[in-house]
Structure 1
Amino acid sequence: MFEDTLELAENKLLLLYIFKRIKFPISNNEITQIILENDFINYFTLQQYLNELLSSNFIKKTAGSNNHKFVITKKGLRVLVLFGNRISKGKIDTIEHYLNTKIKNIKKNLSINANYTVDPKNNFTVDLKISENNSTLMNIKLNVDSNKKAKELCKKWEKNYSDLYYNIVELLMRN
């Protein structure tokens, strides 16, 4: 019984680790593919764990226009910091290897755009966008007062879009 409890805890922590490691919202199908391809958890147990992580507010669903995606919450990150050392090195190594080889396939449906325009009055409008399968996940338009700021915003968006997306969603979800 004790071994079952340890395995359950490790598997839930592993799921949190994967969500943290990927850094952007992923669908149920994507997380299921990662878990099943690595033979960590069977499908039905995985779905149960995802529901339990959702009800405990360790992960949450973000609404897209076509489907929902999962993302780790701050509460989930805290739990992972406290107990992440309980995930076996073998499982971490397996996930790291898998993600290093497959992350491009996971991200391939994402389209990241960052550009800016200048109007006749020298106002710069920066357009930052994340799309998936021709569906917009986030689109931000900002007015800035210089070409330098516009270029800097575009560069930061292209480099850190997943962290920025997550932080913006978290900020908007606060009470």
Structure 2
Amino acid sequence: MFEDTLELAENKLLLLYIFKKIKFPISNNEITQIILENGFINYFILQQYLNELLSSNFIKRASCSNNHKLIITKKGLKVLLLFGNRISKNKIDIIDKYLDTKIKTIKKDLSINADYTMERKNNFIVNLKILENNSTLINIKLNVDSNKKAKSLCKKWKKDYLDLYYNIVELLMNN
């Protein structure tokens, strides 16, 4: 029974690790595919674990493009930080290798846009956007006072859009 409890905890931590590693909301189908392709957990137990992680507020649903996706919460990140060392190195290596090869496929439907226009002298409108399957995930318009700031924001968005998106969603959902 003790081994079953350890395995249950490790599997839930592994799920949290995957959500943290991906950094953006993913569908139940996507997380299921990752787990089943690596043979870690059977489908029915996986769905039970996801429901338990949701009810414990370690992950939450985020509405994106009129469908629900799952994302790790701050509480889930804290648990992972405290207990992540209980995930076997072998499983982490398998997931890391899998995600390194598949992350582009998982993200393939994302389109990242960052541009700006000058409205008036010293007034630039920066438009930062992420599209998924031609539906808007996020669209931010910012007013800045210099061409340099506008270029810098666009460059940062293109480079770090996943982290920025994740942080914005996390901030908005925590209140």
Same fold (TM over 0.5): yes
State the partner residue of 2:64: 64
Contact 2:65/2:132, CA 8 A, preserved across alignment: no
CA deviation after TM superposition for structure 1 residue 76, in Å: 0.3
Distance (Å, rounded) in 2 between the aligned partners of 1:14 and 1:114: 34
Query: 1:122 Cα shift?
Result: 4.4
Q: Counterparts of 1:75 and 1:174 in 2: how far apart (Å)? A: 10
Query: Pairwise mapping of residues 48-127 of structure 1 onto structure 2 (< 5 A)?
Result: 48-127=48-127
> What residue number does 1:155 align with?
155
Q: TM-score, normalised by structure 2?
A: 0.97
| Distance in 2 separating the partners of 1:174 and 1:133 | 27
Q: TM-score, normalised by structure 1?
A: 0.97
- Unaligned runs of at least 5 residues, structure 1: none
- Percent of aligned positions that are identical: 82
Query: 1: CA distance between counterparts of 2:57 and 2:105?
Result: 28
Give the number of equivalent residue pairs: 175
The equivalent of 1:41 in structure 2 is: 41
**Deviation, structure 1 residue 173:** 2.1
Unaligned runs of 5+ in 2: none
Quick check: 2:62–2:69 contact (8 Å CA) kept in 1?
Answer: yes
* In structure 2, distance between residues paired with 1:112 and 1:119: 23
Write the distance in 1 (CA, Å) between the matches of 2:106 and 2:65.
19
Q: Give, in angstroms, the shift of residue 59 of structure 1.
A: 0.3
Query: Which residue of structure 2 lines up, in the alignment, with residue 10 of structure 1?
Result: 10
Q: SS in structure 1 opposite 2:41?
A: coil
Deviations 1:52-84 (A, max 9, x none): 000000001100233111110000000001000
Q: SS at 1:151's partner residue? A: helix
